[in-house]
Structure formats: structure tokens, C-alpha cells
Amino acid sequence: MKLCRFDHCRIGILDGAAIADITPLFDDIARPAWPYPPYDWMVHHFPQVKPRIDGFLATARRFPADAVAVDSPVANPGKIIGAPINYRDHVDESNADREINHGKTFTTLEQLGLFLKAGTALLPSGGRVLIPFENRRTDHEVELVAVIGRAGRRISRAAALDHVLGYSIGLDMTVRGPEFPGFRKSADTFAVVGPWLTTADEVPDPNGLDLELRVNGELRQRSNTRCLIFDVERLIEYASAMYTLCPGDLLFTGTPAGVGPVRPGDLIGASIQGLGELHAEVGSL
Ligand code: MN
């Protein structure tokens, strides 16, 4: 199923051309009290609610999907984790382009590790990406995003996918420059995720999905997640060797070749096979 948030605090399931409001299924689940847990409340409780969804859909309120503004599917990810260099063709383009590499040589994820993006960078599909420095190159990066559903640390490769609730489309927006990725990739609006989360049961192989990105309708990136250097399982194993993964954590899996600059007024469209289509407009602060 395709799970979304809309109207800021409503939880919905995409049902054909409609969004069915399943928020009442969460009514008897206590909201978290301060100090808040390090996981997302809705994602953490989704397994409790899931068996009742099918029966509830018949009577659920419905809204036309194209008339509703969606929010990012996860409200409060405890962590947004990114993989800097995870497609061979992007490693090659990065090492060939001084505007991307700034004199560094990109090697392997074993050497470079992962990076974190700030929670305040989160932006839903349909939102406006704000460029913080107009005189600096700011690039699009389309990426498969895995949404962690079950907590774990030191997760084995064999168990990795059991910890995934579902998948979504992400834009890992990036200012090019010499600073650490945690600075250049964490600006407000630089983690676009959406439009909804497709549960893992509908994605039998996350390492075999076509993905593409267009700017103003022009194709910029096209690949398939089978080209991931660290596949989804390996990324979860690797990330969880360092961090406890919590429900709602977002794992950006890396971008293929074709990254390039965007400017205010540009319209970004990204799609991943079976996961829908994400849109963002580019603006300036
Ligand atoms: Mn990226």
C-alpha cells in the first residue's frame, strides 16, 4: 500500500485516484510525551494499525489525491542518512568534474562512510527547494529512499530488509563545494521525500528499480538501483554498524550520474518504478 501524510496531521492510504483517511485508526494510540522518543510515532505504530486498514477502507473518508497537498511521508525522522558515492557512473563523473570534487578523489563507501542530513532539511513533494547561496552551484540528486520500520543495531545483511517499512523517492539536494557533506547537503528543504511511502511488500526487489529525474521536462538522470555499489541490504548493515536505526529513519541510497545545477524557477520531477512521481520547484531564500 501507499501511505502518506496530508493536511499536516492526517494519515492516508492512496486508493486509486483518492486518498483514504485512516487517521481514526491511530486515535486510540497515545501520542508521545516529552522527552520524545528517537523514532517517528506514526511509523513506530504502523504495524499495530496495519491489520485493520483493509476493513476500514470501505468507510474511510476520501479526498481526490490531486486536490490534497501531501506532507513528507515521515513527520519526524530521527536521522536522515545519506550515501555519498554509491553508483559507479557518479563516482566517475565526480572525479572528472572539479566543480564536484574540489580537488578530492572519491574512492569507496568503505573509505568515505555515510553522512547525515538535518531533520530541518525535510521537504514534501510539491514543496519549494530554496537555494541558500545564489552564486554557488546547487545540484539535484535523485535517490531511492528506504524508510526504516523496525529498530535495530548491527543488523545483518540477511535480516536487513526485515527492518524496512517501505520506500520513497528522494532528492538529496547539494551545494557543491569543499565543505563537509553534512553542511552542504543539510540546508532547509534539501531532503525532499515523497510523495508517499510504498510499503515493502509491494517492492519485492528494491535493488532493481528504474529511476529518473527531469528538470523542466528535460531528462538529466536515468538509471536503475541494480547499479547501486552498496545495495539496500549492505547500506542497512553498514549504517547500523554505526547507528541504531529507528522507525522513521530515512536512508538515502545515493545518486547515479547526471547530477547538475538547478536555478530558481526550475521544476524538478523525479520518478522511481512503482513508487510514483515527486515534484519540486526551485526558489531562492
Ligand atoms: Mn546523494
CA of 254 to the centre of ligand 1 (A): 5
CA of 143 to the centre of ligand 1 (A): 7
Residue 70 above 90 pLDDT?
Answer: yes
Q: pLDDT above 90 covers what percent of the chain?
A: 95
Residue 8 above 90 pLDDT?
Answer: no
CA of 251 to the centre of ligand 1 (A): 10
CA of 270 to the centre of ligand 1 (A): 14
CA of 8 to the centre of ligand 1 (A): 27
pLDDT in tens, 146-205: 999 999 999 999 999 999 999 999 999 999 999 999 999 999 999 999 999 999 999 999
* Cα–chain center distance at 20: 22
Element (DSSP H or E) covering residue 10: strand 10-15
Return the CATH superfamily for domain 80-284: Fumarylacetoacetase-like, C-terminal domain (3.90.850.10)
CA of 29 to the centre of ligand 1 (A): 35
Residue 228 above 90 pLDDT?
Answer: yes
CA of 255 to the centre of ligand 1 (A): 5
pLDDT of residue 91: 87
pLDDT confidence tier of residue 247, bands split at 50, 70 and 90: very high
Angle (CA) 145-149-153 rounded to 5° is 95
Q: Domain limits of the chain?
A: 2-71, 80-284
Can you tell me the mean pLDDT for 215-235?
98
Compute the distance between CA of residue 62 and CA of residue 60 in angstroms, rounded to an integer. Answer: 6
Beta bridge partners of 2: 198
* Cα–chain center distance at 140: 13
| pTM (predicted TM-score) | 0.97
CA of 86 to the centre of ligand 1 (A): 8
CA of 59 to the centre of ligand 1 (A): 41
Residue 26, classified by CB atoms within 10 Å of its CB into exposed (0-12), middle (13-18) or buried (19+), is middle
pLDDT confidence tier of residue 82, bands split at 50, 70 and 90: very high
Contact indicator for 138, 212 with CB cutoff of 8 Å: no
